[in-house]
Structure 1
Amino acid sequence: MDLLLQRQLRWQENNPDDRLALQELMLLPDEVEARLSKPAGQPAWLAQVSQNIPAAPPVIGRLAEMVTRFGLSEIERDLLVLSLLPRLDSRYGAIFAFLQHGEARTVPTLETGLRLLCPDNVIRLVRQASLGPHSPLFAHGLVNTPEVGEVPRELKISTSVYRFLMGGDAGLPAPCTEWLRPVADAFAPEWITALARGWHSDAPISPVMSLRGEPGSGRGAALAAAATVGGQRALRLDLAGLPAEDDDASIVLGRILRETRLWGTCLVLDEVAALAETRPRLFTPFLRQLAVHPAPVALLITTHAVSIWLGARPQILYEMPACRAAHSVMLLRQHLAQRVGAAEAEAIDLQALAQRFRLSPAILTQALEEADLYRRQRAPNAPLEMADLMRVFGLRAQRNFGKLAQRLTPKRGFDDLMLTDEVKQQLHEVLAAIRHRESALACGFARKLGDATGISVLFYGDSGTGKTMAAEVLAGALGVDLIKVDLSTVVNKYIGETEKHLAKIFDLAAADAGVLFFDEADALFGKRSEVKDAQDRHANIEVSYLLQRLEAYPGLVILSTNNRAHLDDAFTRRLTFMTRFTFPDAAVRERMWRAIWPERITLASDVDLARLAARAEITGGNIRNIALLATWLSFEEKAACVEQSHIDQAVRRELSKMGQMWHA
């Protein structure tokens, strides 16, 4: 500021007629002379009030951090400080307005800054030549951003830079960003340490870290924990949420890169593959910016996605470790005990929750708050129950399959199944496999099986024998939804499209926790044929791809077919269970006849259900259709009950669809 005062004194000497106006604007001449003889190193107004301000503890200089992080030269550093002055006190704006001969020009121009900071014209020209549009001060938008390829005329400091220098906290630089939060004890400490060691580097440009795992597996929380080890925060950027116009999106990306460098933040990129594929005009310059971005960068990659390489920058891949049920139980017990107490936490079947749902550490606190809201809906003082937690985790697990699959909420249980004891026993074995799979893997089977840890079931038998209903009952027993795949939307004649649809279904279903059900599976899982053309080769590739996904799927997959012989032999060898739904015998058919009628429907006294079961060799689906039609006929005649004649007429119609005759 002594240089500014010298400029003021020189102006006074050369313009004596304007001395009065100058005195009203700034210091009196005697005061200027006194200041020049004994420079205080700070503004006079600050000296007057500093004695009333308590001494601040020593802090790390943020200006020094900025110079290091952005590689500012000495002249760029001084120009940045000069641009800061009008924000500190409006009287600096008055000085610049006076020096620049305009009352409205309270922000210093680049020309004014160079005149103030350079002792002679030669040095000023040298400094000016070094300040091109690609200088860090301008290229990163630390002062007002000029047009592309131009140097700004005014040195107006960026608001975020001003906040940083004044000791503020970092905010979100764009709507498509969020701060990632670490979760205590969510991951093994040694794994987080290894993750941080691979991310934080002493090199000028740290390696890019790719973290592969499923959405909802806690990838963000893991990266946040690794960033915390290095004393940093992690900012997630959803590239799919960028503005639609590339020019607008480019400005947002530039601002985010500036903010992460400014605050020393780790940058986590999500949906990189989509940006590279759909917006190459935006992705290519973004790669160039990332190549010289010194802050740590990470990529979130789904399990089966292809890795994306960010130019020549070194890259390291980490696999997200599977969260075993035992660890999920431990986390859930800790969170529950803090909320409801240890006794109530032990009363809930946490093992069943951990087996049915992916309990992401990042959402446990919020999920338990939501469960508490459902508890209050039941009764204000009611204890937290398993049903409250099942509802919350079930809702959070739901994924949108679009037209590829239909979500069915189970409504029927084992009591509604009219099957042989042998089939029911096999269904209970399937449930036992699901419930105890994690325990078996933890005992050493994980190493023995490799990736083939999936549990798959084949239901085969005639139409109407209860295959779909059995799938619904299994899903209901597990407390999850049934995800019924619509094969008409999955199978596509164009090469590669079917695999894309299947990959999406398996990825979504894995996060959904639902039971995946392929009805009429022979249309998709048919036998592989001898390769005669490209179409045959592609069809065989689809079958091989399905085999891989079936073996690695973490939940339960049910295949249903009317004809087992149509399925490829490779499936039958690798399926965990195969259950045959036989044609019901007379005893089973009689139970079906007695169970199909609702309580409010009355049968005539002469209706002989045992005789019907013995004479009509039909399935449960046929019996359902007959009972419904007989009820409609009785309503049409305004009869007091369903009579034998109504049932005979309904049986006749149902058998005629099958090409059979009925004689009452």
Structure 2
Amino acid sequence: MSKPMATSASAYPEDGEPSGLLAFRRLDEFLGRAIESARGRYGPEASADAFRGLYVSVEQAERSMRRPPGEPLCTPGDSHPAGSDPGWERIAATERGWSWLRTGYGLSDFELDVVLLALAPEVDPRYERLYAYLQDDVNRRRPTVGLALDLLTGTARERLAARRYFGAEAPLLGRRVLSLVPDPRAEAASVIGRFLVLDEQIVDVLLDQGGLDRRLTAFCELVTPPPAPVEDEALYRMVCDAWGRVPLRLYFQDPAGAAGRRTAQALAAALAVPLLAVDTEDILHDDTVLELVFREAALHGALLHLDDVGSPCTLALADRLAAYDGVATLAGSRPWVPTTRRPLGVLTVPSEPGDATWRRTTWQQAFAAHGVEAAAADVDALAVRFRLGPSQIEEAVMTARTAARLHTEDDPETAARSPSRAELFAAARAQTGHELTTLARRVEPSRGWDDIVLPAESLELLHSLCEWIVHRRQVMEEWGFDRRMSQGKGISALFAGPPGTGKTMAAEVVAHDIGLDLFKVDLSTVVSKYIGETEKNLERVFTAAADADAILFFDEADALFGKRSDVHDAHDRYANIEVAYLLQRMEEYAGLAILATNMRQHLDDAFTRRLRFIVEFPFPDDAERRRIWDVCIPPEAPRAPDVDVDRLARDFRLSGGNIHNIVLHAAFLAAAGDGRIGMTELLRATRREYLKMGRVEPMADPDRQEPRRPGDE
């Protein structure tokens, strides 16, 4: 229906059209022919009437009555020299935006001309004046459907047939290339009276304006990833084979929420294309925004990555995926459920955190980028103990630099280049565990090996527990044990012993030694009287801990992990289900979980069989109590010469927790007295501790040689 038109020699020089404006030569030829036709239709007085369109004169009404219904402004009789009009094939060959629009959406020449009409006022306001004249109305400065039909068709039959291009399912409207906006002055504007308004994204593309669509900046990020190794060569080959040829949809099941994004970045870097990363949490049901997202990926030739995709996916997302002919990667925490409405062929790719070798390389790159020097042993320890992604590692390095500036009295810039091991570990810990803080209490590990008093065998087990974590990479990854195990790859330990024997302190010592956070699970927020709620709460704890690289410490664990019993009623049945669930969840947990109990005999045998370490915390004997009394009184505290720790250890059979309480109470008594901690204060505090426990204080017996057994008075 579009016809060649005459060119305006004054607007375009002989040596070629201005760069990017070849299409507007075509438009000017349309308009030049239309203006000639308009002179005859509107009369010679139209151009001189400043109020044209604000009223209808008798002459105008009579002239309209003489015109056949549906007659276009330009008739088939209009003819111009052939070859003067640049066709769309030539335009698309020289201008990328028009080429993409033509091939990507399969638009016809007529539809491309409509887009050109709507685009012109974004380039030059003179087109608004021309449109007002051609539409015989000074207020209609934007093109309408009617103007497009007038300019782009030659007969009334063609004009009626061309209305199909403005249907809801036609590409122009169905693919949201443009929208039809009613005239605000008309209560019920007809289709032909509606304005043609191009989508902002289409305008930017056709005018070669780079960057991300302004409407997508809140939840999209367009990045050019730095070179990074692709861990799965088969995955990379598959994406390369599909790129630019066939649709491909991959789903990274990513409970931690970082590995999927990292894999997508590595794939984009390997393909040498940008990555369009989208946080889909708030847009999964918005078909309009999803259309913009998928279009943006196509415009930039980017690998599209959708984060936080629920499963099953929404119908809006399924429709967009089905229509997308590029490569799209998705990530979510749950298994992918195929949609019944649209067959998509989504392939699930289990997304595992990068191994320690990859993390070590990433740490080294981040150190080099920020001018930080770190010992090789520290880099190895960071890579093994913290499963962080690239952005988290870089954030940790920057945070450690700032901490080093704060903690030095020398040149801050020099200190920032060499943060300490403690500062590096603290910065790494700060990257994770934020969700876990709502479910468990973070314990700041401040106790060391010198602070804990235990039998040699128990201490050896605690050291072995730390060694498992330190050498985990070597055994599991380098020696291949990881490939031999489908589950139970984590480390679990049971601390069993009477109250006050040092179970919580031992957890702090382990956390302090290996440099990980310690989270104490608050049982009041986990255990529920409602059936099924305890499992849900524990699932939240384990899921949050999976991304925290922290130690989970369950105190009073026998309240959760009790023995399974015979089923006598519904309560027994559901209690057994809870224990069975916990057994399974503990095996799946990849971190370190420490369970503390006062009554080991109450634990289910199947549960203890799955524990890597069982550390006994016996009631301390006389020698151990003497060390505990010494350790509990800090070196800085003023100690009177009459303090007899041998007598205290011999005469009072107390646990380490009780001794700690006594020493602290005695310190406050001393502060209120002569300022020194002596036997008088310690004995008074001991008496109060016995009263608090509801026990009778034993009489001191300086001649007693044999140690008393637990329970002796």
TM-score normalised by L of structure 2: 0.80
In the alignment, is residue 329 of structure 1 matched against residue 356 of structure 2? no
Instruction: Spell out, residue by residue over 1:135-171, the C-alpha distance to the aligned partner (whole angstroms, 9 max, x if none).
Output: 2211332213659x99681112222211111222241
In 1, Cα distance between equivalents of 2:460 and 2:427: 31
CA shift for structure 1 position 512: 1.1
In 2, Cα distance between equivalents of 1:585 and 1:458: 22
Does the 8 A contact of 1:183 with 1:362 survive in 2? no
In 2, Cα distance between equivalents of 1:619 and 1:350: 40
In the alignment, is residue 256 of structure 1 matched against residue 293 of structure 2? yes
In the alignment, is residue 62 of structure 1 matched against residue 97 of structure 2? yes
Amino acid in structure 2 at the alignment position of 1:324: D
Counterpart of 2:308 in structure 1 is 271
In 2, Cα distance between equivalents of 1:113 and 1:587: 99
Question: Please, which of 190, 204, 210 is the counterpart of residue 169 of structure 1?
Answer: 210
Counterpart of 1:380 in structure 2 is 413
Counterpart of 1:237 in structure 2 is 278
In 1, Cα distance between equivalents of 2:137 and 2:271: 49
Question: Please, which of 456, 461, 477 is the counterpart of residue 421 of structure 1?
Answer: 456
Correspondence 1:268-347 to 2 at 5 A? 268-273=305-310, 283-302=314-333, 305-310=334-339, 311-312=341-342, 313-337=344-368, 339-340=370-371, 344-347=373-376
Does the 8 A contact of 1:367 with 1:393 survive in 2? yes
CA shift for structure 1 position 599: 3.9
Structure-2 change in CA distance of 1:347 and 1:255 (3 Å)? closer
Counterpart of 1:187 in structure 2 is 230
Structure-2 change in CA distance of 1:179 and 1:626 (3 Å)? same
In 1, Cα distance between equivalents of 2:263 and 2:94: 30
Does the 8 A contact of 1:176 with 1:237 survive in 2? yes
In the alignment, is residue 220 of structure 1 matched against residue 251 of structure 2? no
Amino acid in structure 2 at the alignment position of 1:384: S
Does the 8 A contact of 1:2 with 1:36 survive in 2? no
Counterpart of 2:179 in structure 1 is 144
CA shift for structure 1 position 473: 0.8
Amino acid in structure 1 at the alignment position of 2:36: L
Does the 8 A contact of 1:182 with 1:222 survive in 2? no
Does the 8 A contact of 1:525 with 1:567 survive in 2? yes
In 2, Cα distance between equivalents of 1:335 and 1:646: 55
In the alignment, is residue 607 of structure 1 matched against residue 607 of structure 2? no
Does the 8 A contact of 1:459 with 1:561 survive in 2? yes
* Secondary structure of 1:317 counterpart: strand
CA shift for structure 1 position 329: 1.6
Q: Which has the higher helix share?
A: 1
Q: How many pairs were matched up?
A: 625
Amino acid in structure 2 at the alignment position of 1:645: T
CA shift for structure 1 position 581: 0.2
Instruction: Spell out, residue by residue over 1:72-127, the C-alpha distance to the aligned partner (whole angstroms, 9 max, x if none).
Output: 34432221122112222222222111111122322110111011111111111111
* Secondary structure of 2:329 counterpart: strand
Structure-2 change in CA distance of 1:559 and 1:198 (3 Å)? farther
CA shift for structure 1 position 444: 2.1
In 2, Cα distance between equivalents of 1:94 and 1:111: 17
Amino acid in structure 2 at the alignment position of 1:86: P
Amino acid in structure 1 at the alignment position of 2:380: Q
Counterpart of 1:156 in structure 2 is 197
In 2, Cα distance between equivalents of 1:431 and 1:150: 77
CA shift for structure 1 position 193: 0.8
Counterpart of 1:116 in structure 2 is 151
Counterpart of 2:386 in structure 1 is 357
Correspondence 1:390-405 to 2 at 5 A? 390-405=425-440
Question: Please, which of 490, 494, 509 is the counterpart of residue 454 of structure 1?
Answer: 490
* Secondary structure of 1:11 counterpart: helix
In 2, Cα distance between equivalents of 1:241 and 1:561: 44
* Secondary structure of 1:630 counterpart: helix
Correspondence 1:77-96 to 2 at 5 A? 77-96=112-131
* Secondary structure of 1:381 counterpart: helix
Amino acid in structure 2 at the alignment position of 1:648: L
TM-score normalised by L of structure 1: 0.86
Counterpart of 2:75 in structure 1 is none
CA shift for structure 1 position 288: 3.6
CA shift for structure 1 position 605: 3.4
Instruction: Spell out, residue by residue over 1:507-541, the C-alpha distance to the aligned partner (whole angstroms, 9 max, x if none).
Output: 22121111111111111111122234444333333
Instruction: Spell out, residue by residue over 1:199-244, the C-alpha distance to the aligned partner (whole angstroms, 9 max, x if none).
Output: 64744xx24311012435432131133345556433233233459x
In 2, Cα distance between equivalents of 1:185 and 1:260: 21
More off after superposition, 107-116 vs 496-505 = 496-505
In the alignment, is residue 647 of structure 1 matched against residue 682 of structure 2? yes
* Secondary structure of 1:211 counterpart: strand
CA shift for structure 1 position 571: 1.6
CA shift for structure 1 position 402: 4.6
Identity of aligned residues (%): 34
In 2, Cα distance between equivalents of 1:466 and 1:540: 31
* Secondary structure of 2:197 counterpart: coil
Counterpart of 1:196 in structure 2 is 239
Counterpart of 2:33 in structure 1 is 6
Question: Please, which of 208, 229, 236 is the counterpart of residue 249 of structure 2?
Answer: 208
In 1, Cα distance between equivalents of 2:157 and 2:102: 25
Structure-2 change in CA distance of 1:581 and 1:264 (3 Å)? same
CA shift for structure 1 position 36: 5.1
Structure-2 change in CA distance of 1:595 and 1:3 (3 Å)? closer
Amino acid in structure 1 at the alignment position of 2:590: P
Question: Please, which of 616, 620, 630 is the counterpart of residue 580 of structure 1?
Answer: 616
In 2, Cα distance between equivalents of 1:119 and 1:451: 74
Does the 8 A contact of 2:275 with 2:302 survive in 1? yes
More off after superposition, 68-77 vs 128-137 = 68-77
Q: Which runs of no fewer than 5 residues in structure 2 stay unpaired?
A: 1-27, 53-78, 183-188, 701-713
In 1, Cα distance between equivalents of 2:206 and 2:178: 13
Counterpart of 2:470 in structure 1 is 435
Amino acid in structure 1 at the alignment position of 2:398: E
In 2, Cα distance between equivalents of 1:516 and 1:223: 31
In 1, Cα distance between equivalents of 2:49 and 2:303: 50
In 2, Cα distance between equivalents of 1:528 and 1:194: 50
Correspondence 1:547-562 to 2 at 5 A? 547-562=583-598
CA shift for structure 1 position 176: 1.9
Does the 8 A contact of 1:367 with 1:392 survive in 2? yes
More off after superposition, 405-414 vs 640-649 = 640-649
Counterpart of 2:136 in structure 1 is 101
In 2, Cα distance between equivalents of 1:7 and 1:595: 99
In 2, Cα distance between equivalents of 1:371 and 1:402: 22
CA shift for structure 1 position 593: 1.2
Structure-2 change in CA distance of 1:150 and 1:361 (3 Å)? farther
Q: Which runs of no fewer than 5 residues in structure 1 stay unpaired?
A: 26-34, 43-55, 277-282
Does the 8 A contact of 1:528 with 1:543 survive in 2? yes
Does the 8 A contact of 1:240 with 1:275 survive in 2? no
Does the 8 A contact of 1:337 with 1:345 survive in 2? no
CA shift for structure 1 position 380: 1.9
Does the 8 A contact of 1:234 with 1:266 survive in 2? yes
Question: Please, which of 23, 44, 50 is the counterpart of residue 17 of structure 1?
Answer: 44
* Secondary structure of 2:360 counterpart: helix
CA shift for structure 1 position 58: 7.6
Question: Please, which of 157, 166, 171 is the counterpart of residue 131 of structure 1?
Answer: 166
Question: Please, which of 601, 611, 617 is the counterpart of residue 653 of structure 2?
Answer: 617
